[in-house]
Amino acid sequence: MCGICGIVEKKSDVDRSILKRMNDSLYHRGPDDEGFYINKNVGLASRRLSIIDIYGGKQPIKNEDGNIVTVFNGEIYNYIELREELEKRGHKFATKSDTEVIVHLYEEEGEDFVDSLNGMFAIAIYDQKKDKLILARDRAGEKPLYFGNFPEFFIFASELKSILSNPKVSREINLKSLSLYLMLEYIPSPFSIIDGINKLKPGHILIYKDGEHTIKRYFNLTKIVTPQNEKEVIERIDELICNSVKIRLRSDVDVGIFLSGGLDSSLVTYYAVNLGGKIKTFNISFDEPSFDESKFAKIVANFLGTEHIEEKFDQNKMLEIFPHVISFIDEPFADPSILPTYLVSKLARNYVKVVLGGDGGDELFGGYPTYFAHKLMNIYKIVPFKKFISSISNILPVSHSNFSLDFKIKKFLEGQNLEGWRRHIRWMGAFSEEELKKILVPYEESKISLEDFISETVLPEDPNNFFVLDFKTYLADDVLVKVDRASMMNSLEARAPFLDPNIINFAYSLQERFKVRNFRTKYILRKLLDSKSFPKEVINRPKKGFGIPIAKWIKENLNDIIAQKFSSSGDIFKTEELGKMLREHVEFKKDNRKKLWTIFIFLMWRENYL
């Protein structure tokens, strides 16, 4: 695991001091070592968190004649098998690292080298003979990669802050990205909050040559033949997850597990224990019952016999770390669960350097309540008393608890006049396209077609396949961003066994009845857990999520600072509308937590980075 960055100058040689400044900004991603490659107008750099071949795997790494050089962030899990095959073809290796596999594989397969990789990665390869730079990002988007092609230079980095540390890069807000952020609560690929900077989309490669760049998609979700019999489906998933966990346990340092007690992390822990013996598991607990799920983590830890390490936090601790975490996030990002994710990462880093987690299970196997909510909406639309239900919802008392009844009912009803992906996005996000008109001063300049974005992102797959929609948007640009930033802030590597490409395509091809059945999410994973004799209270538990009490914070702890930020934001927002939303929330007239938090986080980001 590392942080990487680089520059290709178009009119001068690389300034080493600027490249070093960019690299230094990524220190947290790789505190163990740094490395540079500078060849006239081309410069690559890396910060290394040593996991594989601790002493020999320094970056950048070159091929035998030194004409191909790479810097790389992530892990190639099948590097042992790839190395053996490359050695049979005559390649000579100088290290035992997974990084060196990349340069030799590129020698053999050219730009198609990514097809052979099973891993999480952001890769930069410079081919000196062809004077060509290649960037590649993994299939699901576990590792970030930003880039910009300017008149005087091409630039890339693992994090936006690295690019912004280059004094030649201007800091102007991309207003269309701001609109997407306000609707989705995150900024989706290929957009970034800064004009001229983009994210390389997951499953894509970029080729830069002679001042121009082209982007190609190398990964498509692929339908494969899957069993129709439930028993055979369980057996196949059992095999796939076991194999995935096995290669993700490859490490020259200790590996632990984030154990929430949810279905996904419980399964990952089961296979790790069976494959690796005594495993350390990590969880944090909260003093607020509606947000705490430590009970289930303890049940699973006791059942599997892990060395379970837990730390309890109150809301004051999260408020204490809030400014530090927010200052580290270099794009507006409104998922508040990054705070507890940071805390559990910090806890784990005291014991291990690598953790496995359950990320991806919800999107691939149907874990979110929104999936059966769509089915429920189809029923709701034909009932004769829906107007009565709607009127009752308006008199429900507002609660600031985690996913309270009034919050869920009112959020559900927001989608009653929408269809398909529009309804899904509305349920998952903060503002609607129509609501942006009420709050944005530069509304016309910030307008963007959500329909165009969704069709470009999800095609050629069905945009109303909500599993695919979440895999390509919410997972890639919210969940995985949260895990990457929170873990990397603590110099901790987080691996996701559910995002093995074999599991991804299997889950994509699996019939929906194996995912959501009779308003029950993750049907087949629950059956798999049952086949392993897991406790029933774990198998049957509902989805909880890793939340924090932001509704309460906004009313009590953060009210004054939010009001102050809102009052001084008149260049972008209509302050009277923001003030109205805040008053409604504080006075328990409306639960505006998602909208208020989304705007507040943007204003905090602007203060830190512009």
Cα distance between residue 102 and residue 353, in whole Å: 23
Cα distance between residue 591 and residue 584, in whole Å: 8
In DSSP terms, 285 is beta-bridged to 312
CB 233, CB 225: distance < 8 Å: no
Cα distance between residue 65 and residue 57, in whole Å: 18
Of the residues 1, 2, 326, 516, only one is catalytic, namely: 2
The predicted-structure confidence for 298-326, as pLDDT tens digits, reads as follows: 999 999 999 999 998 877 888 889 999 99
Q: Which residue has the higher pLDDT, 277 or 177?
A: 177
* C-alpha neighbours within 13 Å on the C-beta side of residue 280: 17
Sign of the four-CA dihedral 286, 325, 610, 171? negative
Domain ranges of the chain: 2-163+197-217, 230-284+294-312+331-366+468-539, 369-466+548-609
In total, the chain counts a number of residues equal to 610
Q: Which residue has the higher pLDDT, 161 or 406?
A: 161
CB 76, CB 118: distance < 8 Å: yes
Cα distance between residue 332 and residue 17, in whole Å: 28
> Quick one: residue 360, left, alpha or beta (phi over 0 = left, psi -120 to 50 = alpha)?
left
The predicted-structure confidence for 106-148, as pLDDT tens digits, reads as follows: 999 999 999 999 999 999 999 999 999 999 999 999 999 999 9
What's the fold here for domain 230-284+294-312+331-366+468-539?
Rossmann fold (3.40.50)
Q: In this model, does residue 381 exceed pLDDT 80?
A: no
CB 423, CB 432: distance < 8 Å: no
Cα distance between residue 94 and residue 323, in whole Å: 44
pLDDT, averaged across the chain: 92
The whole-number average pLDDT for the span 4-13 is 98
pLDDT for the residue 595: 97
pLDDT for the residue 111: 96
Q: Which residue has the higher pLDDT, 260 or 391?
A: 260
- CA-based nearest residue to 518, from 379, 386, 411, 414: 379
Q: In this model, does residue 82 exceed pLDDT 80?
A: yes
pLDDT for the residue 402: 59
The whole-number average pLDDT for the span 69-92 is 96
What whole-number percentage of the chain has pLDDT above 70? 94
pLDDT for the residue 388: 58
Q: In this model, does residue 396 exceed pLDDT 60?
A: no
The whole-number average pLDDT for the span 60-64 is 94
What distances in angstroms separate CA 510 from CA 14, 57, 191, 239, one per listed residue?
A: 50, 39, 31, 15
Q: Which residue has the higher pLDDT, 330 or 462?
A: 330
Contacts of 438 (CB under 8 A, 6+ apart): 574, 577
Tell me the residue ranges of DSSP E strands in 238-373: 255-258, 280-286, 307-313, 354-356
pLDDT for the residue 398: 56
Q: How confident is the model at residue 434 (pLDDT cuts 50, 70, 90)?
A: very high
Classify residue 525 by its DSSP letter: H
CB 78, CB 114: distance < 8 Å: no
Catalytic residue list contains 2:
yes
Q: How confident is the model at residue 55 (pLDDT cuts 50, 70, 90)?
A: confident
Whether the bond into 190 is cis, omega within 30 of 0: yes
- CA-based nearest residue to 342, from 410, 277, 282: 282
Prediction pTM value: 0.95
pLDDT for the residue 358: 97
The predicted-structure confidence for 543-589, as pLDDT tens digits, reads as follows: 776 678 888 889 988 999 999 999 999 999 999 999 999 999 999 99
Cα distance between residue 21 and residue 45, in whole Å: 10
The whole-number average pLDDT for the span 369-373 is 87
CATH of domain 2-163+197-217: 3.60.20.10
